[in-house]
Amino acid sequence: MSERTEVRFSKAKAFYDTFERKGSGDKVTHYCPGCGHGTIQKLIADCIDELEIQDKTVFLSPVGCSVFSYYYYDTGNIQCSHGRAPAVATGVRRTLPEAVIISYQGDGDLAGIGMTEIVHAANRGENITVIFVNNAIYGMTGGQMAPTTPMGQKTPTSPFGREVLRDGRPMGMAELIASLSAPVYVERCSVATAKDVLKARKVILKSLQNQVDKLGFSFIEILSPCPTNWGMDPVESRVWMQEQLAVLFPLGVYKDVTTHLVAVDPGKFHSPMDDDKLRELLRGASEVPVQRSSPLPHTQLIKVAGFGGQGVLSAGELLATCGMSEGIQVSWLPSYGPEMRGGSANVSVILSEDDIGSPLVDHPNVFIAMNGPSLDAFEDAVAPGGLILVNSAIVTRKVSRTDVRVVYIPATELARQEGLLSAANVVMVTAYLYITKAFSIETLRRCIPLVLRKKAYLNQNLALVEKVLDHCVRTAGSAGSDESDGSAGSENG
């Protein structure tokens, strides 16, 4: 017998040397003693080493006990929001054709909150590997019932045991995914015994090799112990898995068509669109040379509201397009009722010299009221000192606030005089620009053709702009004033 020994099994290279959580370096995982996550993650690391794919692996951590996986794997890492890893994987797949993507998910994550994402990623046959760790409960949050919890099992959310009429039956995810046509490889394995673990290693290896070979979607379900929440010791929990869990969720291959497949060049199917094509598709402000006239006085938090059909959303689009063409930050957030016509619509637009955090406008400093109900709905929300533009051709009442600037424009009437029935929006935007000087009217003229759907009306719209300017100039004495009822047309019925 030899005196010399060599390392046969040791920590995988795909792991970091130290797991630097919470500042201080550490060499142990955060998992409970005897948790299956550690065993499974070691198998994955080992397979990454064996396939020599560490440099191109992107490991997706879920929400759940394995949320901290990015502290362990010395690979690309993304921590995904709860259940969304398959959607993130799809994004990574489309942008990094050569990446090896591992979506590692628990049963609460994958079969609960993330059921939609996994089913659709599987159905699209994304070329990714999903490692589904089924411990039959929500581990991280304290052992609540999961879609995979066995009948009769007591958990904090099924204190008298899972019951069929109330909770439904446990779901077999391997069975469900295998019923779709796109996945190429679906197998369920376990880490209950050493034999199971060795088998699981082969299965994981194959699922990753499938991806490297660009064969398509592989789904590996692994039964895994959670001694802590099952209220068992680590050894007992492994016995329970064999006696109970593996009976409920039989191990084995649920689908494997990889032998008849040839590698698919992913580029063939999802070739990313080139920039020129994209530009052509989005034909808009990018065509307009960016030119800034003068800096914005302050961030414009704009709300436009009215009936559906009054061009409320387009008014927002026009404002945002003007902003883009002047190279500033813009956001456009529509919200409208169920009926596109006759219902009420409103849009929030932010124009800013700085980055925009949220596109929501709760307290506009510019409010364009296209009809009466909108004025009723938003008058009180306008920030003190803000500007309210009222379509006085339709809105019969006056604004009651006294701490805001109000301008009345008979917008619908002005548009009608120009032969345009639904161009009150253009009137309001023109008046807004005239009053605030946020952008030059020249910018507006440049942007109208980009936003206008019916190009045949372009000249009439441009003529309308001049008409509105004329109207504003005629009533300018008050339009430019700070009087609260300063009016570009209130007397001009």
Partner 1 sequence: MNHVEICKDECKGCGVCVETCPRDCLMIGDEINAIGYQHVVFVGMGRCTACGMCYRVCPEPGALTVMADVKEV
Q: Which is nearer to ligand TPP, 141 or 329 (CB)?
A: 141
Out of 233, 287, 442, 470, point to the residue binding partner 1 (CB under 8 A): 233
Ramachandran angles phi, psi of 228, nearest 5°: -55, -55
Q: Does residue 138 belong to the site contacting ligand TPP (CB under 6 A)?
A: yes
Which of partner 1, ligand TPP, ligand SF4, none does residue 6 bind to, with CB < 5 to 8 Å depending on kind? partner 1
Among 66, 90, 314, 412, binds ligand TPP (CB under 6 A): 66
Q: Does 74 help bind ligand TPP (rule: CB under 6 A)?
A: no
The structure tokens listed for 383 are 């920030």
72 binds ligand SF4 (CB under 6 A): no
Using CB under 6 A as the binding rule, whether residue 412 contacts ligand SF4 is answered as no
Residue 198 near which of ligand SF4, ligand TPP, partner 1, none (CB within 5-8 Å, type-dependent): partner 1
> Would you give the distance in Å from CA 167 to the centre of its chain?
29
Q: Residue 228 binds what, of ligand TPP, ligand SF4, partner 1, none (CB under 5 to 8 Å, by partner type)?
A: ligand SF4
Q: What is the distance between the alpha carbons of residues 244 and 236, in angstroms, rounded to a whole number?
A: 12
Largest CA distance in the chain: 109
Decide if residue 110 touches ligand SF4 (CB under 6 A): no
Q: How far apart are CA 348 and CA 441, in angstroms?
A: 21
Looking only at residues 53 through 92 of this chain, which bind partner 1 when binding is defined by CB under 8 A?
A: 72
227 near ligand SF4, rule: CB under 6 A = yes
Contacts of residue 422, defined as CB under 8 A and 6 or more positions apart, other chains included, come to: 309, 310, 311, 415
Using the contact rule CB under 6 A, the part of the chain among 135-143, 280-288, 295-303, 410-418 near ligand SF4 is 135-143
**Candidate list 53, 65, 251, 395; residue touching ligand TPP; CB under 6 A:** 65
CB within 8 A of 327, min separation 6: which ones? 290, 291, 292
> Strand 129-134 relative to strand 100-106: parallel, antiparallel, unpaired?
parallel
Give the nearest residue (CB) to ligand TPP.
Answer: 106
Residue listed under structure tokens 């009722």: 337
What is the C-alpha separation between 318 and 174, in angstroms, rounded? 50
Question: Under the criterion CB under 8 A, does residue 206 sit at the interface with partner 1?
Answer: no
User: From residue 45 to residue 64, what is the string marking binding to ligand TPP with x (rule CB under 6 A)?
Assistant: ------------------xx
- Closer CB to partner 1, residue 15 or residue 254? 15
Does residue 216 belong to the site contacting ligand TPP (CB under 6 A)? no
Question: Nearer to ligand SF4 by C-beta: 80 or 351?
Answer: 80
Asked if 217 and 180 count as a contact pair (C-beta separation under 8 A), the reply is no
Q: Tell me whether residue 141 or residue 258 sits nearer to ligand TPP (CB atom).
A: 141
In the list 22, 23, 24, 33, the residue contacting partner 1 (rule: CB under 8 A) is 33
Six token digits for residue 5 = 């020994």
How far apart CA 118 and CA 106 sit, in angstroms, is: 12
Strands (E), 289-328: 300-307
Cβ-based nearer residue to ligand TPP, 169 or 454: 169
185 forms beta bridges with: 218, 256
Tally of CA atoms within 13 A in the half-sphere of 208 that contains its CB: 28
Q: Which residues contact 485 (CB under 8 A, 6 or more apart)?
A: 398, 399, 406
Smallest CA-to-CA distance from 219 within 235, 234, 203 is with 203
For ligand SF4, the binding residues (CB under 6 A) are 31-32, 35, 37, 65, 135, 139-140, 226-229
For partner 1, the binding residues (CB under 8 A) are 1-12, 15, 27-29, 31-39, 41-43, 45, 72, 191, 193-194, 197-198, 201, 227, 233-235, 238
